[in-house]
Amino acid sequence: MSTNQPLVGIIMGSDSDLNIMQGAAEILKEFGIAFELTVVSAHRTPLRMVAYATKASERGLKVIIAGAGGAAHLPGMVASITSLPVIGVPIKSSNSIDGWDSVLSILQMPNGIPVATVALNAAKNAGILAATIIGAFDETVGTKVKAYKNNLEAEVLKKVDKLKTEGWQNNFDN
């Protein structure tokens, strides 16, 4: 599926979240998946959020990645409006309680409104998960995800060999 039509929407509650959310954009670009990226605040622009979530599917999006810090309502509110899968990225923001408020706000969704939740500040993982979802129906993307994971395995096995041949003393700082 080679297209310039965005398949993934990356949204964040504030432009201050961009330094984290760019991880999702970078990995989607690596997989060759078209995406859009914008600010949609659940609290400051609720009508924009509703319009974005309501129109996402008909605009061709297949997955939404929503990052938010603090109270982190954006992923859950978007998931309550759209039928698309929503991946929440909790962000440790300047006003957060060490990020736990964001994690719990996204993780503890009521039954009926699921949000896939990645680790704190783990937008790259959200991008990989979005690619995996798209790869389930797009063979080209699925092949790229498989190659990516195979490469991760190869990197670990190289480290295993290095430890075996050079010993642990030569591989770690003491």
Helix (H) or strand (E) holding 27: helix 18-31
Q: Which residues contact residue 121 at a Cβ distance below 8 angstroms, ignoring those fewer than 6 apart? A: 20, 89, 90, 91, 92, 99
Residue 132 token pair: 């995996």
Binding residues for substrate: 14, 17, 44
Judged by DSSP in three states, 90 sits in: strand
Helical segments of 32-122, H only:
46-55, 74-81, 100-107
What is the C-alpha to C-alpha distance for residues 107 and 36, in angstroms, rounded to an integer?
A: 24
State the binding site: 14, 17, 44
123, 65 Cβ separation under 8 angstroms: yes
